[in-house]
Amino acid sequence: MPKLLPIVEFLEHGIKKPIWDCKMCGQCVLHSTGMTCPMTCPKTLRNGPCGGVREDGHCEVKPEMPCIWVKAYERKESLPLPQSWRNHYNDLRPPVDNQLKGTSSWLNLITKRDQQTPAGWCAEIPTDESVPTQ
């Protein structure tokens, strides 16, 4: 498989970059974000828009740029995506493992490398029941 790595990475980037402006984070979530790469957000937010979305739907960091999450929602609603993909739009996504940046998300998915919890990270997403109340 090591000989295939550069070929697969080249193919993946060659396909995904021109179509979806892929940033090769190694943990692709296009299917759950209306085929919009959340890594194109200036803040690289993977779980929805920040509090600074302007009234016109543009980004607070780059005012000339439409908010990636507004775009993701509009695409989720308008593109002929499978319902199972639409259902994942509101899922809570773990933070990006920057160790995977520049690697193939296709290979990481197959090898389950994208599902491994990096050292020092909480292995489970806390639920309402596990968060202490005051």
Q: Residues near 11 by Cβ (< 8 Å), separated by ≥ 6?
A: none
Structural domain containing residue 25: 5-93+102-115
Per-residue confidence (pLDDT) for residue 64, from 0 to 100: 96
As for how many domains the chain has, the answer is 1
Q: Does residue 108 form part of some domain?
A: yes
Residue 22 has pLDDT above 70, yes or no: yes
Q: Does residue 107 form part of some domain?
A: yes
pTM, full prediction: 0.78
Per-residue confidence (pLDDT) for residue 3, from 0 to 100: 80
- Residue whose C-alpha is closest to residue 8's, from 111, 78, 130: 111
Backbone angles phi, psi at 18, to 5 degrees: -70, -30
Count Cβ neighbours within 10 Å for each residue of 3-19 and write b for 16 or more, e otherwise.
eeeeeebeebeeebeee
Query: What is the arithmetic mean of pLDDT over 70-91?
Result: 89
- Residue whose C-alpha is closest to residue 88's, from 37, 47, 40, 43: 47
Q: Does residue 71 form part of some domain?
A: yes
